[in-house]
Amino acid sequence: MTAQATNRAPRRVPLSRERVLDAAIKLVDQGGLGSLSMRKLGQELGVEAMALYYHFANKDEVIDGIVDIVFSEIELPTDGTDWRTAMRRRAISMRDVLLRHRWAINLMESRRNAGPANLRHHDAVIGNLRAAGFENAMVARAYSLLDAYIYGFALTKINLPFDATEEVAEVAQGMLQRFPVNEYPNLVAYIAEHLKPGYDYGDDFEYGLDLILDGLEKASSTA
């Protein structure tokens, strides 16, 4: 039972891409992309920063990795689901994922090295639309429109400089206070009438989503 008996474990479990990426996601979910530094990441793993470069070529490769993890969390269309249901579920799942990983939005479509989950996702969506009879031009339009809406919604919602509903009016008022009264009458009226506590900007997501799906359905049936 002495320590050296059973070859007492290598002085430390070696790193792995997976362990590093998990730690990176944790860091970044907490403090945003800005709080992901190689030094902090190393610290989180009990290792010097430079150790990470044994497993990743550079920081970008780490980011590629966590982006693909985010993609893997989005619900894929299952075979045979009709396109409208599949797209609706995907959109809502994607919005949830993006809101859970607020840092990811800017990166999802910008990486030159798409990971397997990313490609799988695109493959499944395109497959579902093609199976539903959409021709290529229509696949492109539908996909572009839906993704733009989902990303854009997540982007605007995440970037809103307030979180809780209660604060909305306050922040808005604060912004306006620095300007002459009645400089922005419509904005003022709108805020006063509409931004009451209880209003959640996020509720409008499904309204817009269904409006878009309606439009696509009509377009695909008359084509």
Partner DNA sequence: CGGCCTGACTGTACGGTGTAAAGTTCGCAG
Partner DNA sequence: CTGCGAACTTTACACCGTACAGTCAGGCCG
Q: Say how many residues make up the chain.
A: 223
Q: Under 8 Å CB-to-CB from 91, ≥6 apart: which residues?
A: 146, 149, 150, 209
- Tell me the window of 7-15, 23-31, 57-65, 215-223 that interacts with a copy of itself (CB under 8 A): 215-223
Q: With beta carbons less than 8 A apart as the criterion, state whether 88 and 79 touch.
A: no
Q: Does 223 bind a copy of itself (CB under 8 A)?
A: no
Distance CA 41, CA 26 (A): 10
Q: How far is CA 66 from CA 13, 20, 115, 177, 207, in A?
A: 21, 10, 10, 41, 31
Segment 103-162, which members bind a copy of itself (CB under 8 A)?
105-106, 108-114, 116, 119-120, 122-124, 126-127, 130, 136-137, 139-141, 144-145, 147-153, 155-156, 158-161
- Work out what residue 53 binds among a copy of itself, DNA, none; the CB cut-off runs from 5 to 8 Å by kind: DNA
Q: Which of 185, 198, 221, 222 binds a copy of itself (CB under 8 A)?
A: 185
Residue with tokens 């206070």: 177
Distance CA 154, CA 102 (A): 8
Q: Which residues form the interface with a copy of itself (CB under 8 A)?
A: 105-106, 108-114, 116, 119-120, 122-124, 126-127, 130, 136-137, 139-141, 144-145, 147-153, 155-156, 158-161, 171, 175-176, 179, 183-187, 189-190, 193-194, 199, 201, 204, 207-208, 211-212, 214-216, 219
